[in-house]
Amino acid sequence: MARKSLILSLASAALLIAGWGTGPAPAQEPFYKSKTIRIIVAFAPGGGFDTYARSLARHMGKHIAGNPTLIVENMTGAGGLIAANHLYKVAKADGLTLATFHGNQILAQVIGGQGIEFDARKFEWIGTPGKNHDLCLLSKTSGISSVDQWLASKTAVRLGGVAPGSSTDDIPKVLRTALGLPLRVASGYKGTSEIRLAVEGGEVFGLCGLSAASAKATWKKQLEVGTVTIVLQNAPQPHPDLPSNIPLAIKLAKTDEGQQLINVGIHTPSAITYVYSAPPGTSPERVQILRRAFLMTTKDPEFLAEASKANLEVSAASGEDVEKMVADLFKLEPGVLSKLKEVLGQAN
C-alpha cells in the first residue's frame, strides 16, 4: 500500500513539472494587441484617398482581435509611385503596414510605365472601399459649362494633374484620343487637394480623374456655388445623384477603338482606384485578418455614418476580388495593349 502511494505521488509530481493538472493554460494574446498599424496614403491630406483612409483608420481597429491603433501617414510623389514602391521594397511584411495608392499604377505596370519597381501580382491585396465613378470638372473661368462647348473649343483646356500613371494624367489622355477633347495636362501637383487650390487660383481650369465621392467630399462648396461644373462622367453607368444631362464618355465615343480605350483605360482601373495592400510576403494568417477586418469596417454602421457625413461612397470589394481584377489586367489582348501604350505614352 505504501509502495502504491509512493507511485501515485511520483506521478502527480511529474504532472506538475510538465505543467499538467494546474488548470487551463493562459490563452495566447492576439498578435495585434498593443500594436499600431500604419496606413500609407500616396497623396496629400485633404483629398479623397486621405479622407477614406482616415475614416477607415478610426474604425478598423475594433474589428481586429487585440484592438490595434491605426494611424495615417501621407507619402506623396510621382502619382502614388513613391508609396507603392516603398510598400513593395521597403516596408516590413509583418502585417503592420498597409498602403493605398492609385489603382492606375497597376495599369502603368501593365503597359511598361517608367519608375515602377513593383510587381502588382505579388502585393497582398486587402480590398477597396469604393469604386471610382470618374468625372471631369471645369471651372467657371474656363468659359466652358458643357462637353459640347469643350469639344468645340479652339484652344486646349489646361487641366491639373499629379503624374503619369495617376488618373488625373491618364484619363485625360484617353479622352483626348477617344473623344477628340482639346486639352493638355499641367502635371506635378501632389494630389487633388492641391489641384483644387490651383483651380481656385486660376493656374488650371479643372481636372479629369476625380471620383464622384471625392467631388462630393472635397469639392462640395465649389460645386454648390457654381465655381466649378461637372461636364463629363467617365463611368459605365450614370451616377444616380448627378443630373441626367451630364453625358457618359463611352456614349460619345464614335469608334469601336475609342470605346475599347475608355473601357480598358478608364472603367477597369476605376474599379480598383482606392485599393489597399500589404507588402508581398505578409503571412497568409495576417492577410486574412486584415481582409476580414477591412470588409467588416465597410459594413460597420458607425463607419458608414461617418462616410455618409463626409460624402464618401462605399461599395467595397474584397481582397480576393481585387486580386482577380489585377490578374485580369495582365491578360489584355495584344492589340488593345499596344494602343493603350501609345495613348498613355503621349506627352501631356
Q: Sheet holding 134-139: strands in order across?
A: 206-211, 134-139, 228-234
Do 110 and 148 lie in a common domain? Answer: no
Query: Which residues have CB under 8 Å from 296's CB, separation 6+?
Result: 63
Please tell me the distance from the alpha carbon of residue 276 to that of residue 3, in angstroms, as a whole number.
68
Same domain, 195 and 85: no
Q: Are residues 257 and 301 in the same domain?
A: no
Residues sharing a CB contact under 8 Å with residue 180, sequence separation 6 or more, in sequence order: 151
- Name the pTM for this structure: 0.77
Do 56 and 74 fall within a single domain?
yes
What's the confidence (pLDDT) of residue 15? Answer: 39
- Are 260 and 336 part of one and the same domain? no
The pLDDT of residue 163: 85
What is the structure's pLDDT at 246? 97
pLDDT along the chain (348 residues), means of 10: 44 43 58 97 90 96 98 93 97 98 89 92 96 94 97 97 88 96 94 93 95 86 96 95 95 94 91 94 98 98 94 91 93 90 85
Q: Cα separation of 244 and 258, whole Å?
A: 22
Give dist(CA 158, CA 184) in Å, integer. Answer: 5
The pLDDT of residue 27: 56
Q: Which three cell numbers stand for residue 348?
A: 501631356
> Residue 26: left (phi > 0), alpha (psi -120 to 50), or beta?
beta
Say how many Å lie between the first and final Cα of the chain, rounded. 97
Residue 255's pLDDT is 93
The per-residue pLDDT for 302 is: 97
Examine residue 17 and state whether it is found in any structural domain, yes or no.
no
How many independent structural domains does the chain possess? 2
Looking up residue 82, the CATH number of its domain turns out to be 3.40.190.150
12 in any annotated domain: no
DSSP 100-144: E--THHHHHHHTT-TT----GGGSEEEEES----EEEEEEGGGT-
Four-point Cα dihedral 159, 188, 267, 151, nearest 10: 20
Cβ atoms of 274 and 49 within 8 Å: the answer is yes
**Is 238 in the same domain as 187?**
yes
What is the domain range of residue 41? 36-131+271-344
